[in-house]
Amino acid sequence: MSAVVVTQDTETLSAIHASSFPDSWTALFFGALLAQPGVFALATSETYPAGFILIRVVADEAEILTLAVKPDQRSHGHGRALMTAAMKLMIESHVERCFLEVSVDNVAAIGLYTRTGFATCGRRRDYYQRGLGHIDAIMMDRQLKSAS
Ligand SMILES: CC(C)(COP(=O)(O)OP(=O)(O)OC[C@H]1O[C@@H](n2cnc3c(N)ncnc32)[C@H](O)[C@@H]1OP(=O)(O)O)[C@@H](O)C(=O)NCCC(=O)NCCS
């Protein structure tokens, strides 16, 4: 598998995001996010990446803003590689706790986060729009200080 790299390629981030979520984020929106302090995007490779992760670091905490792997490249370890690289970057940035929100029915993402050391720490009712209704999010976190 290719090495994970920091990227600013907002067109590619937007295209991969659109392949994975119904409410896709534009390249312009990714650009605005990446212009904020502490926001980083990591991709699985420089050219034609399979996926990316977007994180925000604020002092000793970090949030996973979004994460996506192209549908035809899933289940090959890209998601885990992105999570591992993001947590390495967080530790280097002296982050002590990482948190995220995920839809309660997103089995693949919850599986990946659990596999990479995250545990449920809360629930947000009706957090995501789903069709005409809403669905809850679970909040997950992981301490990083003692991670090796
Ligand atoms: C979630 C997502 C990023 C996983 O990426 P991936 O490259 O397929 O994941 P990996 O191949 O690295 O899998 C790592 C672990 O995740 C879990 N996992 C991945 N896909 C899974 C699935 N369909 N069902 C259950 N667990 C799954 C497994 O624990 C797996 O470890 P294992 O292979 O040792 O069992 C991908 O499914 C995706 O892009 N989904 C759509 C976007 C999304 O929901 N993003 C998260 C928003 S919070």
pLDDT of residue 147: 47
pLDDT of residue 1: 59
Q: Which long-range contacts (CB under 8 A, 24 or more apart) does 133-138 make?
A: 135/103, 135/104, 135/105, 136/103, 136/104, 137/101, 137/102, 137/103, 137/104, 138/101, 138/102, 138/104, 138/110
- Ligand 1 pocket mutation, candidates 84, 99, 112, criterion most atoms within 8 A of CB: 112
Give yes or no: 113 in active site.
yes
pLDDT along the chain (148 residues), means of 10: 89 98 95 97 96 97 98 98 97 96 97 98 94 94 76
pTM of the model: 0.96
Catalytic entry in 11, 46, 96, 113? 113
145, two tokens: 């200080």
State if residue 84 touches ligand 1 by the CB under 6 angstroms criterion: no
Q: Set out the domains of the chain in order of their start, with CATH numbers.
A: 5-143 (3.40.630.30)
pLDDT of residue 2: 62
pLDDT of residue 146: 54
Nearest protein CA to atom 24 of ligand 1, as residue:
108
